[in-house]
Amino acid sequence: MNLFEFIKKSPKAELHLHIEGTLEPDQMFVLAKKNNIQIPFKSIDDVKRAYNFDNLDSFLKIYYEGTKVLIKEQDFFDLTWAYALKCKEENIVHTEIFFDPQTHIERGVKFDIIINGIYNALLKAEKQFGLSFKIIMCFLRHLDESPCFKILNQAILHKEKIYGVGLDSSEMGNPPSKFKRLFKKALENNFITVAHAGEEGPPKYIWEALKLLNVKRIDHGVQCIKDKKLVEELIKSQIPLTICPLSNIKLKIFKTLKDHNLKKMLDKNLMVMVNSDDPAYFGGYLNQNLIEIQQALNLSRSEIKKLIINSFTSSFLTEIQKKYWINKIK
């Protein structure tokens, strides 16, 4: 089996996936028409041309435009079901997805509609083809902390569906410390915590996420390499870093994939794995990310295997479940 086939056929876990970021251009147009929503694009090609981002903020502007078409529970179900089918196609056997309720609630969409649509689609996928899952609710860091408590209270009512809470959106100028009280309450209510940190932001943001938000995982974290003490801490603790190669190129974190620091991180024994982030916007789902980073950095079969094993090790599956899938990676 060649390396390309090994990537495609190996069971995998995906730990950094924004469900809103799986909204493909054609699906955006279908939903816009169905829900009578005006979007600033005349064609699918217009959308694709708009996907030429300068940075995280310019991406988010288009991203939030796209989410406007999601109105009904069925819309969230269909969006999530389409991703679940992609998981089946790519041999992703476990996924831990993010969703951004604030993006939708500010448009008048009720919390119950969002979570029920997402959860029911994943439940169907679990029953039909065995896809296991966890759902992580993210807070938008460019907004104030205070209104987030109301959202957290709603999440508590759906605790059986929502496993953890995270932090995403515009990183620069919005440090994790801004949400210290919120995450304290989330932890008191037995939510696992994760946070985007060190994507564009400095290593200091990663330290804050670890020390002030008590996160179990850092999403992105590629800037950690600039802080020797932080790298030592991450190696020692084996706190996972959910790396998203194609996202990092699209958002200009690195100029090209050949400049990406994934191999350096892997060589240092940091707990890294590959994910797709917002695949509809960034040019590829999980397998494509693995294939392109392998080619760019000339990663060996053992290095790719390590990345895939790390995806299970870093997941919130039980130890028995982790061992089961790791043993399937040949």
Residues designated as active site: 199
- Phi and psi, residue 168, nearest 5°: -145, -165
Token couple for 55 = 């940075």
- CA distances to 48, 106, 161, 315, 322 from 238, in Å: 38, 37, 27, 12, 16
Token couple for 288 = 């494509």
Q: Please state, as a whole number, how many other Cβ atoms lie within 10 Å of the Cβ of residue 160.
A: 7
Sign of the CA dihedral with 219 first, then 171, 277, and 127 last: positive
| Distance from C-alpha of 177 to C-alpha of 253, rounded to nearest angstrom | 23
Overall size of the chain counted in residues: 330
Element (H, E) at 128: helix 111-129
Please identify which residue in the block is written with the tokens 């706190």: 239
Please identify which residue in the block is written with the tokens 């060190």: 198
- Phi and psi, residue 48, nearest 5°: -60, -40
| Distance from C-alpha of 33 to C-alpha of 274, rounded to nearest angstrom | 35
Q: Give every CB contact of residue 178 below 8 A, 6+ residues apart in sequence.
A: 141, 145
